[in-house]
Chains A and B, each alone.
Chain A
Amino acid sequence: MTVRRWVWLLSLLALPVPALGATQEVRLADPGAAAQVVFRVPYAVLEVVGSDRDGVRMTYDAPEEGDARVHLRLTAQGNRVEAVDPGNAHLLKVRIEVPRRTDLRLETSNGGPLRIVGVEGVLEVVNSNAGVELTDVAGSIAVSTSNGPIVADVTRVDPGGTVSLVTSNGRIEVTLPADFAGRVLAESDTGPIESDFRVRVEAPRGLPRPGRVLSGQIGSGAGLLRLRTNNAGIQIHRR
């Protein structure tokens, strides 16, 4: 008998049904204030999308046949919402809708590409063995991954804020607002570094750095753009 037949049969018996896919939603205690969402689940293919809703909605699906035991839960305390399952061993496809103004702390690994669309806040992302793609994001950003590219389309950087993108074996492509101003330090051990911005090139402080380096100042602001990869290129685009 297939798994789906078991689900149908068990539901008739009103027994707990293992979740093959599920949607959960929590409301924020203060919809007028920024939310904080923490997601720490390995093996996730994660997409986070900013929306106009007052709460956080998570939909997930375990695509492998027979993978019935998925215990992913949203918990909320005030405006802080968490989905934490460090013991997860299933490949999950997860989509989380959050208010557009949300601070994110996302950690996954070995699942697949991680995407964030239309979110504004302090965005901290850790992935591995896959890429990270940020589209229409704003705020301060710290992203790290390995064996995958980082592509970030940033519409606004907080005054004095940070955009730090670190990967290995993957290219970095970042688009910044035309008025971005701050210090830039971009490094690639072997790949080319290109910038649309006019950079007032300055030698890096202190020790000389091996590899290819773009170090200097864009405009006169206090932001920080820190980019590092090893055997791929870096592109800095200006909107």
Chain B
Amino acid sequence: MSEHEDRDIILDLFGELDETEHADLEERLATAPELRRRRARFHAVIERYRSEGEEEPPPVRIASSRPGRSTGWLLRIAAMLLVASLAFFAGRATREPGTGEPGGDLDALTMETARLRRQVALLALQQRRATERIAAIEDLAAQAPGDPALAGALWRSLRDDPSVNVRLAALDALFSAPGIAPPSADVERLLASEPETAMRLALVGWLAAAQPAGWEEALREVGESDESTAVRSRVRELLGGVA
């Protein structure tokens, strides 16, 4: 069962798939009994909450130690994913003996929950609003700061997100996870393509702090070629006057 399929099932239950995506999912469901069983269990949990008259699922602290952080509909999905994962494993333990699966194994449940939480955060990186993408990056950074898969998502945001504010949030998250610095050549390419002076200033600071192999040469190159006086001056300061 792939993360992609779980994500599509959950989104479909909340009516978030368009017609084409829904039709594609229905086609897959028609030929995959296990997929249909998962959808039925997720659906049962959601319906139980609705029938008990709760408009919102119980508050669930998703990612960080900061209480009450709200990401709107994503929080609802994330809460449902956690509950659905609990129901799923509870169901497997009581209804599917002899499958060889861990069943009620707490470790397996913890891993599944963490996987689903990362899925929600990665989905949130595709949100239309920059403020929601910033919130998603904050959650990713708090969940697993050294996770290479998450580092890849943060790097893509730093390289490709159209919002300077989001790119800065991605850089902040990479600052907080020193073990996942990319090669300095990649950072040099990023510096060459970054249009905003404020971001290039932040990037040279990060390069000087992370110090990946070849960082001094990369900084000198930027210090000689950057179009901004402020960036060139900053590089000189970071290199201690040796430009």
Residues of A bordering B, CB below 8 Å: 103, 122, 124, 126, 140-144, 146, 158-162, 164, 166-169, 182-183, 185, 187, 189, 204-211, 220-222, 224, 226, 228-231
Contacts and interface: CB of A to CB of B under 8 A. Distances in A.
B86 interface: no
B: contact size bracket: 35 or more
Given A124-B163, A160-B71, A224-B134, A207 B206 contact: yes
B67 interface: yes
B98 interface: no
Which one of A144, A183, A229 has the highest number of Cβ atoms from chain B below 10 Å of its Cβ?
A: A144
20 contacts: A140-B131, A141-B131, A142-B131, A144-B196, A160-B66, A160-B135, A161-B131, A164-B165, A166-B165, A166-B168, A182-B66, A206-B176, A207-B178, A209-B175, A210-B208, A221-B66, A222-B64, A226-B168, A226-B172, A230-B201
Contacts of B135: 160, 162, 224
B169 interface: yes
Contacts of A164: 131, 134, 165, 168-169
A206 B66 contact: no
A209 B210 CA distance: 10
B28 to A, nearest CB: 32
Given A144-B164, A205-B176, A189 B201 contact: yes
A185 B172 contact: yes
Contacts of A230: 197-198, 201, 230, 234
B70 A228 contact: no
In this complex, which of A141, A161, A211, A228 has the most chain B Cβ atoms within 10 angstroms of its Cβ? Answer: A228
Interface string B196-218: 11100110011011100000000
A126 B168 contact: no
A188 to B, nearest CB: 10
Nearest to B164: A144
**Residue with the greatest number of chain B CB neighbours at <10 A, chosen from A103, A183, A210:** A210
B60 interface: no
A46 to B, nearest CB: 18
A204 B176 contact: yes
Interface in B138-174: 138, 141, 145, 163-166, 168-169, 172
A136 to B, nearest CB: 19
Contact of A183 (B66, B168, B202, B228): B66
Contacts of A124: 129-131, 163, 165
B83 interface: no
A140 B134 CA distance: 11
B165 A142 contact: yes
- Interchain residue pairs A-B with the least CB separation, the first 9: A222-B69, A205-B176, A160-B69, A206-B176, A222-B66, A144-B164, A142-B165, A168-B198, A140-B131
B198 A228 contact: yes
Given A189-B205, A206-B175, A206-B176, A166 B164 contact: yes
A171 B35 CA distance: 55
Contacts of B138: 224
B177 interface: yes
A144 B163 contact: yes
B68 interface: yes
A182 B69 CA distance: 10
Contacts of A229: 198
Nearest to B75: A160
B177 A206 contact: yes
A222 B70 CA distance: 8
B68 A162 contact: no
Nearest to B180: A206
Contacts of A231: 230
B208 to A, nearest CB: 6
B87 interface: no
B238 interface: yes
A142 B66 contact: no
A206 B165 CA distance: 20
